[in-house]
């Protein structure tokens, strides 16, 4: 009997460790974890990367606080999920917009990008559609193109470097996206910006 209980407890703890490593959004609300070396407790989906050896688990935020740990300021584990969903939408959107300006969306992909915000990809899309009337991808694509456009017009940076810096993946994809959005090629846009009278319409 005792052996079975120990085995079950270990399996549950192992599952929780894996949930933290995966930053599993689905495990939010099921438990919280605290990091002994920092004195902070978090949701399973928190972007933090703790050493599993330093983790201790609690069934809820109250237990973690009673144990002497303070709440993480990034994932707000002390806020009930329903309350966070109702009142934290704008805060999540603002964090997402800041991260997108750094190019994180295209480098990480939508799923990981959303998980680092403590939500799922579907929820991220709902927030953007409701607040901005546009998908996260379209918004991130526009930011990327506007950044590339400024570099093309106001610098001598090679287009291959611009493509890489703006996370287009390839010069071909960069050229195609640029032409589609601005109805001109990067080469022509730069030439016209430098010598507007020499480039015919």
Annotate 32-68 with DSSP letters as a single string.
Answer: EEEETTTTEEE-TT-S----GGGEEEESSHHHHHHTT
Any idea which residues carry the catalytic annotation? 42, 46, 72, 75
Instruction: State phi, psi for 91 to the nearest 5 degrees.
Output: -65, -40
| Contact present, 96 and 115 (Cβ < 8 Å) | no
| Contact present, 140 and 106 (Cβ < 8 Å) | yes
């Amino acid at each position: 009997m005792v052996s079975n209980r120990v085995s079950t407890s270990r399996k549950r703890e192992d599952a929780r460790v894996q949930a933290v490593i995966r930053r599993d959004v689905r495990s939010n609300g099921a438990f919280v974890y605290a990091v002994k070396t920092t004195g902070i407790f978090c949701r399973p989906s928190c972007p933090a990367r703790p050493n599993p050896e330093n983790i201790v688990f609690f069934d809820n935020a109250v237990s973690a606080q009673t144990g002497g740990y303070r709440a993480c300021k990034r994932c707000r584990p002390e806020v009930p999920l329903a309350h966070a969903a109702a009142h934290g939408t704008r805060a999540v959107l603002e964090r997402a917009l800041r991260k997108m300006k750094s190019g994180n969306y295209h480098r990480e992909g939508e799923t990981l990008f959303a998980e680092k915000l403590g939500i799922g990809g579907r929820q991220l899309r709902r927030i953007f559609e409701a607040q901005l009337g546009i998908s996260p991808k379209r918004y991130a694509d526009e930011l990327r193109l506007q950044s590339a456009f400024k570099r093309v017009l106001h610098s001598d940076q090679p287009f291959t470097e611009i493509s890489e810096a703006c996370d287009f993946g390839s010069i071909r994809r960069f050229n195609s996206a640029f032409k589609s959005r601005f109805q001109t090629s990067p080469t022509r846009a730069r030439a016209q910006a430098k010598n507007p009278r020499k480039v015919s319409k």
